[in-house]
Structure 1
């Protein structure tokens, strides 16, 4: 492939993705579905012309991991933690935890009895499908009212983190026969909490005090370096990323202590806005090529198999049926819908599934089921949001009531 052809292809991909994002907002449909379909069509066209390009084996996992880091960071930078939000935080954390554990348990049983897998492997394969994809849920939640969108951002971010921690713990249990898995899960969580707080303080100072035209891109790649290092130690680095984003956007949480006041800079807020814009642009770029290449790397013939549709349909049905009681219990009185539909699978599911050791995915599991689960769950979410996005719901908590009243009050 010539240099000019590659440059044209990259440029067209970004411009088309930008158009997809606008089209998605108009149609209330996830833009990632358009990207996946575009990738599938591109693969069919290239196959027909004998011009198929084989992707490097590690390209999708690397792109997806960078995209996941940026998406969780972007979500954290959008979240405001204020007094009186404890009930809301516990509810979203509880919903994410129950959702991951319940879906994993039911799908593990389905894989054990339906595909004849032993319990450890069945559980390990079920975890990726138990995790809500924040890469899809957060952008798609733009069609919801502010309070519902906030719930989706928190829950999907928690779900990513809990899912990765659970996946690492189960993978360690499978590799070691169960020795040390529980200790790794809880000790690893405590370790990343401490690391996240220390890194958050350091980056808070750097954002306000670094000089020069180039300063935020090195910060992002330093965060990627920390993520990779923590991942190599079998920790849960997404928690570090979320803590960093929350600390940067909510410095009042630690500036109340005088010892940290010297870290603050008068230019901090303006510099933070620049970091938010760069993160949003980089997230868009990486997400574009991950989902486009994911579609391109999929053989359409695998989606035509009846067994693929059966397995994918069972997984998707379990996802939404099990989400109903979770939302009924932990939606804070807002009602089950439209939050019921905010359970897409996407980037995190693909990444965890690709993280399974070579040879561990059994032949009984259809290769096309993974992308079909992503497509079906995204389509169901889109039509669910389209039907229920305007539904009136009860307020999430007293803090949201106060914010709504403040916006409605006439100016003095």
Structure 2
């Protein structure tokens, strides 16, 4: 029997998506990350494929494409939820500082550990290998923090999104330095960043103004196709493409802030809001499917025997200790004493895997065991699970209060989705003064 026949593939993907939906429900009840369950499912499928002789398939090209699309969808999904208001300036700056300092410090310590314990590792290559291990996974964090109070939830959305973007920028800055002919230095790096921001703003305004005039009902996947195209072209031009996605999400989520003065006259607010709300739904749905397939395929490609090495265990444990020691210091400095469960929520995931496979061949070190990658991903996920369960036991009323808040949000979203006159939405929603009073 042909394992990868058309109907078998359809059946397999359908079952995986159904199981992923169930895993999300299990994750909310137990605080075990759904991503961890998906990886375990992938490992089970790996052994089933081996039993039927289907273990010779090269899944990496599929894994790479899913990872890129998943990253774009996850960052866009996070950006659509970020409100740029004056009262959120300090939380955003704190999250940015924690993400940036945490990334650099964790990368430096991990690089020192790798250089000392991995044969053939130079400091330059150690930084390159350490960077993916130091990036927070928004793919795991964002779905996992929905039960936390709003302030803590927003902190994790900001922090993980910043960590993704800054980590990718650091990684490609380091890979650029491998080739002296193409290395533009620190000045060129920041010039590239400014150019990316300018292009991102121009593209964001243009997309919103053009798409609000399109009357066709089939335009959201056209919009996503445009964003994917911009991301890919940006990569070809060596721009920080993820910033394009982030800024577009911020602009469409905060249209009143970005469209002021004469620009407001060009904006059809009701049509633009309609695009925003529909995009929010389809982005979340697409991110869910892509994230599901990515982590299952990653599970299929895992070599479990690599975890049995004592050297892998030692290096991984030292990296884990450094991650949480640095995180503890930063959270105490910026957030005070109330750092639970934030301290434990530092998983590695999609970006870590994606960047690890993107390490150039000229920088590859034979002595580096991929088991370190797997150990750190599983270890940080388990620590997050333990931290969330501990916090839930210590704050039993918190979950109920958050559930009530989420129920109120769901009612508002239902009203928005079922109201044809979008001008009624602004009248129905509480003003910022009312939010402050609450």
User: How much has 1:84 moved relative to structure 2?
Assistant: 3.1
Q: Matched residue of 1:110: which SS?
A: helix
Q: Does 1:46 align with 2:49?
A: yes
Distance, in Å, in 2 between the alignment partners of 1:335 and 1:404 is 23
Q: Is the 8 A contact 2:138 2:160 kept in 1?
A: yes
User: How much has 1:207 moved relative to structure 2?
Assistant: 4.2
Q: Where in structure 1 are there 5+ consecutive unaligned residues?
A: 394-400, 408-412
Deviation track 1:121-179 (CA, whole Å, cap 9, x = no partner) reads: 11111111111111111111112111100000001111111111111111111222894
Matched with 2:82 is: 79
Matched with 1:384 is: 387
Q: 1:227 aligns with which of 228, 231, 254?
A: 231
Structure 2 length-normalised TM: 0.86
Q: Is the 8 A contact 2:113 2:315 kept in 1?
A: no
The number of equivalent residue pairs is 399
Deviation track 1:249-279 (CA, whole Å, cap 9, x = no partner) reads: 1012122222343133423223311111110
Instruction: Indicate the larger mover: 176-185 or 366-375.
Output: 176-185
Alignment of 1:57-206 (within 5 A): 57-116=60-119, 117-176=121-180, 179-206=183-210
Distance, in Å, in 1 between the alignment partners of 2:327 and 2:246 is 24
Q: Where in structure 2 are there 5+ consecutive unaligned residues?
A: 399-431
User: How much has 1:335 moved relative to structure 2?
Assistant: 2.3
Q: Is the 8 A contact 1:28 1:143 kept in 2?
A: no
Distance, in Å, in 2 between the alignment partners of 1:33 and 1:246 is 30
Matched with 2:297 is: 293
Distance, in Å, in 2 between the alignment partners of 1:166 and 1:109 is 17
Matched with 2:320 is: 316
Q: Is the 8 A contact 1:95 1:326 kept in 2?
A: yes
Q: Is the 8 A contact 1:208 1:268 kept in 2?
A: yes
Q: Matched residue of 2:217: which SS?
A: coil
User: How much has 1:290 moved relative to structure 2?
Assistant: 0.2
Matched with 2:33 is: 30
Q: Does 1:16 align with 2:36?
A: no
Matched with 2:308 is: 304
User: How much has 1:36 moved relative to structure 2?
Assistant: 0.2
Structure 1 length-normalised TM: 0.92
Q: Is the 8 A contact 1:192 1:235 kept in 2?
A: yes
C-alpha RMSD of matched pairs (Å): 2.1
